[in-house]
Amino acid sequence: MAPYYVGVDLGGTKIYTGLADTEGRLLSEVKVPTAAENGYIAVVERIASTIGEVCSRAGVSAGTVSAVGVGAPGPLNPETGLIHLAPNLGWENVPLGNDLQGLIQLPVLLENDANLAALGEHRFGTGRGVSDLVFITVSTGIGGGLILNNTLYRGAGFAAGEIGHTVVDPDGPSCSCGSRGCLETLASGRAIGRQARELIASGGGRGMLTQAGGVADQVTAVTVFEAATGGDPEALVLVRKAARYLGIGIANILNVLNPPLVVLGGGVMESGAMILELINAETRAYALREAYAAARLVPAELGDRMGLMGAIALAIR
Amino acid sequence: MAPYYVGVDLGGTKIYTGLADTEGRLLSEVKVPTAAENGYIAVVERIASTIGEVCSRAGVSAGTVSAVGVGAPGPLNPETGLIHLAPNLGWENVPLGNDLQGLIQLPVLLENDANLAALGEHRFGTGRGVSDLVFITVSTGIGGGLILNNTLYRGAGFAAGEIGHTVVDPDGPSCSCGSRGCLETLASGRAIGRQARELIASGGGRGMLTQAGGVADQVTAVTVFEAATGGDPEALVLVRKAARYLGIGIANILNVLNPPLVVLGGGVMESGAMILELINAETRAYALREAYAAARLVPAELGDRMGLMGAIALAIR
């Protein structure tokens, strides 16, 4: 009986679970709502039941599963399996690793979701065969993960890769982290939507407002990217501004780590080819010539399976 | 016969060479002017003669030297021994590694000087026993080196650790690297001196001018730190400004790498305890709480032997 591996991508809205063989080939997968409103224990039980389901769908006995990798949001300790804080789930200091392991009687490995996305792209995505890469997700927030010398680099407090909280404008807006001018406050999907709504509130942004059916509250980063793609000049200014800050943030990483590959994922990156081109140009303007020359900037390959495949890579390892 | 190791710290003004045993204990050392004006070949021969001299001073036969580590400025390739560019020495694409090895008939290892300073502090200085550290030198310029998982992390193009060229103010002054607002243009010794002279040119900075004997051209970062230590308010503003940018640059590194230790060296750091305290406070303000909590910011321990001890560490390895 070949060993099997389970990956679980635990998010604020859904639990995405898959079963794979030793090569990471997905044999079955299942997505269910997280239903965090039912409380922590209910979520743990729900995860356990998805694991049972992917096994039964593939006709595999749960006893032949060697390990379960779980990706979860928020600061957590992969060694103790403790999630320190997950505001989206309403959790604080929950021992998810131990509780799940107790329930399913299989070894459980827990890891930060952005780290797992980096691991997934390295093992199964666009980073295959590359020893070092920086993964950056630009979505509602901005996060990242580092693969250095073929290994996930976690940092002394398991907090490495927090690219969204590097300061790219010391006079920028305050950030929820306590600092100001963080990349996330200037270039995340949330920031881009906020900037558009501010523009509308001050009397501008008609094109974006129309794009959102005339309802200012409905204007999000998606609206901005759609309007920019349609040639709306005010939307283009917002997109260029975000790209400039992302370029500065990436250039700073290139100048410090000099990686051969930067993998860009997340909803904002999936808004079209324009954003990657703009980011690339800004990165080139701010990075050292030799650091820019050594690095390829590429889109992530695994789409919404990124976290899941990272969890499977974690389990296989 | 125990093996011996030679380290060479090659700078724009001096060649500093030492002989050590396997534990890195210095048995003899010698400093001579680089005399780069005599040309490349003369410098290579001068390095060779210092190696002969440290051996004879210690009564050691050159044949018992296992390896020679050489730290040199500028972008270079440690694998080929080629120095791409060393403006201070007037060199471009010189095969120092091969030429020196041919002359002395001993294995020669070449490495970037900031990387060697990191290696020196890790092996023999304040970073002993720590697996990961970030070394930052704040001197005329700003440079750095990374020790990750007990190994020098060089990056894909041997350009990792260029902390001086991370952008900390996108609207800051242009930098010689082609970018703008780099840490080096805002907080290096050169930048601090320039800011003081600009202040004097615009009619301010009387205290600093007096400190420099009334000669504006003689005002340097040293003047600024002396005046600030004496309580001069304008000098204090300049020191605080530099410390703020250094804090932002260090916070960005903490948020990306989450290291347990940041070692600060170089002339500016040796200007007194005030600068380290100010940098520490600014780093705390801009870093993620968990990243700041995990990191100690400490002064380098090896002083002007940092590069030499790094070169010896390179040779021993």
- The three-state secondary structure class of B296 is strand
Give B232→chain A minimum CA distance, Å.
26
Chain B: closest CA distance from residue A235 (Å): 21
Q: Of the candidates A302, A243, A303, A304, which has an alpha carbon nearest to the alpha carbon of residue A24?
A: A302
3-state secondary structure of B219: coil
Residue B152: partners with Cβ closer than 8 Å, 6 or more residues away:
B111, B115, B118, B119, B145, B146
What is the least distance, in Å, from the CA of A224 to any CA of chain B? 24
Contact by Cβ (8 Å): A44, A100 = yes
pLDDT digits (tens, 9 = 90+) for A108-137: 999 999 999 999 999 999 999 999 999 999
**Minimal Cβ distance to A170: which of B157, B169, B258:** B169
Nearest C-alpha in A relative to B260: A156
Show residues of chain B in contact with A170, CB under 8 Å: 168-169, 244-245, 248, 286
Q: Give B256's contacts in chain A (Cβ within 8 Å).
A: 144, 146, 160-163, 166, 253, 256-257
Cβ contacts (< 8 Å) between B244 and chain A: which residues?
170
pLDDT value at residue A92:
94
Q: Residue A317's pLDDT is what?
A: 86
In whole angstroms, give the CA distance from residue A72 to residue A307: 9
ipTM of the complex: 0.95
- Is some CB atom of chain B closer than 8 A to the CB atom of A258? yes
Q: Residue A162: which of B254, B17, B184 has the closest Cα?
A: B254
How distant is the Cα of A129 from the closest Cα of chain B, in angstroms?
A: 14
Instruction: Classify each residue of B179-206 as buried b or exposed e, where b means 16 or more C-beta atoms within 10 Å of its C-beta.
Output: bbbbbbbbbbbbbbbbbbbebbeeeebe
Residue A278 has pLDDT above 70, yes or no: yes
Q: Which of A16-30, A72-86, B114-128 has the lowest mean pLDDT?
A: A72-86
Phi first, then psi: give them for residue B245, nearest 5 degrees: -65, -40
pLDDT at A121: 98
Which A residues, 148 through 167, put their C-beta within 8 Å of a C-beta on chain B? Answer: 148-149, 151, 153-163, 165-167
Chain A residues with CB under 8 Å of B178 CB are 285, 289
The pLDDT > 70 percentage for chain A reads 100
* A–B CB contacts, 8 A cutoff, strictly below: 152
Kindly determine whether residue A258 and residue B159, on different chains, have CB atoms separated by under 8 Å.
yes
Q: What is the mean pLDDT of residues A7-15?
A: 96
Q: What confidence category does residue A181 fall into, taking pLDDT thresholds of 50, 70 and 90?
A: very high
**pLDDT for the residue A74:** 81
Beta carbons of B259 and A163 less than 8 Å apart: no
- Tell if the CB–CB gap between B251 and A167 is shorter than 8 Å: yes
pLDDT tens, residue by residue, B133-157 = 999 999 999 999 999 999 999 999 9
CB interface of B with A, residues 53-92, below 8 Å: 75
pLDDT reading at B1 higher than 70: no
Give residue for tokens 């930052």.
Answer: B136
- B132·A156 Cβ contact <8 A: yes
Taking only the tens place, the pLDDT of each residue in B94-115 is 999 999 999 999 999 999 999 9
Element (H, E) at B307: helix B306-316
Chain A hits for B253, Cβ within 8 Å: 256
The phi, psi pair for B19, rounded to 5°, reads -115, 135
Categorize the per-residue pLDDT at A161 as very low, low, confident or very high, splitting at 50, 70 and 90: very high
**pLDDT computed for residue A1 by the predictor:** 63
The answer to whether the CB atoms of A159 and B258 lie below 8 A apart is: yes
Nearest to B75 among A161, A163, A290 (CB): A290
What average pLDDT score do residues A183-211 get? 97
Contact (Cβ atoms closer than 8 angstroms) between residue A208 and residue A200? yes
Chosen for mutation from B174, B256, B292 (greatest number of chain A CBs closer than 10 Å) is: B256
Q: Mean per-residue pLDDT for B156-183?
A: 95
- State the DSSP string of A178-214: S-BSBHHHHHSHHHHHHHHHHHHHTT--HHHHHHTTT
pLDDT(A65) > 70: yes
The mean pLDDT of B159-172, rounded to a whole number, is: 96
CB B304 within 8 Å of CB B261:
no
The pLDDT tens digits of the residues spanning B216-268 come to 999 999 999 999 999 999 999 999 999 999 999 999 999 999 999 999 999 99
Task: Give B54 to chain A, closest Cα distance, Å.
Answer: 36
Domains of chain B, each with CATH number or no CATH: 4-120+305-316 (3.30.420.40), 128-299 (3.30.420.40)
Measured in angstroms, the CA of B262 and the nearest CA of chain A are apart by 12
**Closest A-chain CA to B153:** A257
Give CA–CA dist A142/A183, Å, rounded: 8
